[in-house]
Structure 1
Amino acid sequence: MPVPEQPPVLADGVVTLRAPEPRDLTGALERAAESGAYTAADIERWMAYGIRDAWQARTRLVFVIEYQGRYAGTVSLAPDPHGNASVHYGLARWAQGAGVAARAVRLILDFGFGTCGFHVVTWWARVGNWASRRVAWATGFHLGETIPAYAEDGGTVVDAWTGWTGPDDERRPRGAWFDVPVLEAERIRLRTWRDDELDRITTARTNQATAHFLPFIPQPFTVEDARFWLRDMAEQAAAGKRFNWCVADRATDVALGNVTLFGLHPDEIGDGELGYWAHPDAQGRGAITDAIKRIAEWYFATPDAGGFGGKKLLIRTAATNQAARRVAERSGFQHVGTERAAFPLLGGKLDDRVVYDLLPTDRSA
């Protein structure tokens, strides 16, 4: 199908996509100032005739996003020679967080497939651009591999997340995206880790016990290892695979340890497994026990009550890991079995693996 000569007006009752108008210049300049990527002269040329020229040349089909009667950003499709296109979008700060970008992308996808006849629309974003990835997830893109040195962003070659969608795909998420909740107890706060806490992570994960019971963790655990681990935890949450909490002192906010909830089967058994570790100066203070009790309270609560709605929690550890076993038992978990020679240790040795579980009907839950 041919591309229209002029941008049509597309609307869903909340967001409108349309051609630029003179009144949009102020908003476009404000957004450019937020990003710092373009000069005022660049924006003035782009809004005055750049968008029009790109549309007529079929190099980029750009729409202004109007929200609450104001310029909110742009969304566009860049056609390629093979009958496909890539999608690009940017939103003013004031309009973020309300689902505006996702609405705009759904509208332009319907236009691209239904009017222009594109076969596939692709998406990419610089690794770490979680806002862009969230929009791609919300609009049903198949999220693909991370490609090293895939694109140029701000004059720098960057690694990129990628994705694609087709005309018959639904414009809604394909799976869960876990937003890690902030949970509090009397002495601790459970939250996400910050980038300025890398030293706390490296110290906690560089020790003899970690090397012995978790031999797959590199020793010593470096700052670069910690950065990779934080990125991986964020990736796992975005893929709906695990929750990860920093256990912080409620009064000082100093990081004391970590608890991870993984192995989730919410649509089947309704269970999940917990893993945990503590910083050396936090060991013996009961912080991890307090954290696990608080996570269990949230995990067993129904979604209507702000919880996860799980049915069982598990802890599996080496039979000789007395510290981990004490935490499980003090958190109210019951020892329900032992798997012989099932837990790998340092040097290729095997230990028995003990299994603990906790049900919502248990008194401690």
Structure 2
Amino acid sequence: MPIPAEHPVLTDGVVTLRAPRPDDVQGQVERHLEDPDRGFDEDDARRWIGYGITEAWKTGERFAFVIEYQGRYAGTASLQPDADGNARVHYGLSRWARGAGVASRAVRLLLEFGFSTCGFHVVHWWARVGNWPSRRVAWATGFRMGELIPELAEEGGRRVDAWTGWIGPTDPREPRRPWFEIPVLETPRLRLRAWREDEIERIATARTNQATAHFLPFIPQPFTAADARFWLKDMAEQAAAGRRFNWCLADADTDLGLGNLTLFNIYRDAVRDAELGYWAHPEAQGRGVMTEAIERVARWYFAPETEGGLAGRKLVIRTAATNTAARRVAEKAGFQHVGTEREAFPLAGRTLDARVTYDLLASDVPQQS
């Protein structure tokens, strides 16, 4: 299809993509002053708005638009063609416009233009690992997540890893799977919340112990600060992929992390079952903290979606038969022993233990009024 010689105006009634105007210069300057690490100075901003966007359009190097929201410059979005009939999407917002779905609206408009008018076969996206706002937009607009590519890009004079994604012309422009937001849940003694980066040492200490080494031999011992950072990043990835919820069990008064509770193997269709895993900091063991946390998560998990829950059917806990501490927690939380599988749980030293399974049904948990 022929590409327009000049910028068309694209709008969904809330966000508009259009050609740049002289009064956009200040908005562009302010946006790049908000992110000085990009190496894009005020003169660059003026050139980009003044003639850079128009020249890139004329040469076919990039089809860029100004994003207008509430009558103001809000950022830019563009498609960069390649030699294979595909394109890469770029977008960036001013800080004042973030958090209102503006970037997602702009990308949807851009995708429609790219596929319907430009005839691109595939639109690619990539962003530096850790750029969660960019990934959130790609998720919201239906991009399929691809492989993480080590050292794909350069930033600040060093190579950085990047997330990748792609979308085709017939793909829906909406999320393909949930992005789990970790709900804050409270009990008389606990606040269940996400872990923070400043708790790395606390995590490392809790995960370095003899029981972990024996019952979970795949976990590095000692569990270093580097291991803890990787684990935190992985938990964030799992939540973004709609695969697991992960809570820090924090003391309600001091906010000190006492342990961890994970909800995983989540089936959200007709079955609606999930599995729990947990570990406690040595300082918290023997205080009933984990039982209290599991009971609270169970009430949330079984609650109707209209009340903020997941409307779950069954929760499962699996552990080694000889892991008496984990079994005691499951039993105190009301789970029923429903089966034992012989030689199914790997232990340290390449030995196998029996694996026991406990479950809890929605009908077992009275919901609080």
Q: TM-score, normalised by structure 2?
A: 0.96
> What residue number does 1:84 align with?
86
> What residue number does 2:272 align with?
270
Shift of 1:268: 3.4
Paired amino acid for 2:212: T
> What residue number does 1:253 align with?
255
Deviations 1:212-254 (A, max 9, x none): 0001111111111111111111111111111111111111111
> What residue number does 1:299 align with?
301
Shift of 1:333: 1.1
Q: Superposition pairs for residues 1-40 of structure 1, below 5 Å?
A: 1-36=1-36, 37=38, 38-40=40-42
Shift of 1:203: 0.6
> What residue number does 1:242 align with?
244
Distance 1:169 1:149 in 2: 29
**Partner of 2:34: helix, strand, or coil?**
helix
Distance 2:365 2:244 in 1: 26
**Partner of 1:179: helix, strand, or coil?**
coil
Distance 1:167 1:341 in 2: 49
> What residue number does 1:345 align with?
347
**Partner of 1:361: helix, strand, or coil?**
helix
CA distance change for structure 1 residues 219 and 364 in 2, over 3 Å: closer, same or farther?
farther
Contact kept? 1:183, 1:190, Cα under 8 Å? yes
Deviations 1:305-357 (A, max 9, x none): 01111111111111111111111111111112222221111111111111111
Contact kept? 1:331, 1:364, Cα under 8 Å? no
Say what the alpha-carbon RMSD is for the aligned residues: 1.2
Q: Superposition pairs for residues 70-109 of structure 1, below 5 Å?
A: 70-109=72-111
Distance 2:52 2:156 in 1: 19
Contact kept? 1:141, 1:163, Cα under 8 Å? yes
Distance 2:113 2:131 in 1: 25
Contact kept? 2:299, 2:365, Cα under 8 Å? no
Q: Superposition pairs for residues 140-219 of structure 1, below 5 Å?
A: 140-219=142-221
Contact kept? 2:104, 2:137, Cα under 8 Å? yes
Deviations 1:59-107 (A, max 9, x none): 1111011111111111000111221110000011121111111110010
Give me the identity figure in percent: 68
Contact kept? 1:332, 1:364, Cα under 8 Å? no
Distance 2:70 2:131 in 1: 25
Contact kept? 1:241, 1:263, Cα under 8 Å? yes
Q: Flag as ranges the 4+ runs of structure 1 deviating above 3 A.
A: none
1:284 to 2:286 alignment: yes
**Partner of 2:192: helix, strand, or coil?**
strand
> What residue number does 1:316 align with?
318
> What residue number does 2:140 align with?
138
**Partner of 2:200: helix, strand, or coil?**
helix
Which residues of structure 1 form unaligned runs of 5+? none
> What residue number does 2:122 align with?
120
- Greater mean deviation of Cα atoms: 148-157 or 331-340: 148-157
CA distance change for structure 1 residues 297 and 44 in 2, over 3 Å: closer, same or farther?
same
**Partner of 2:363: helix, strand, or coil?**
coil
The size of the alignment, in residue pairs, is 365
Q: TM-score, normalised by structure 1?
A: 0.97
1:361 to 2:360 alignment: no
Distance 1:284 1:71 in 2: 57
**Partner of 1:94: helix, strand, or coil?**
helix
Distance 1:304 1:65 in 2: 35
Distance 2:318 2:234 in 1: 22
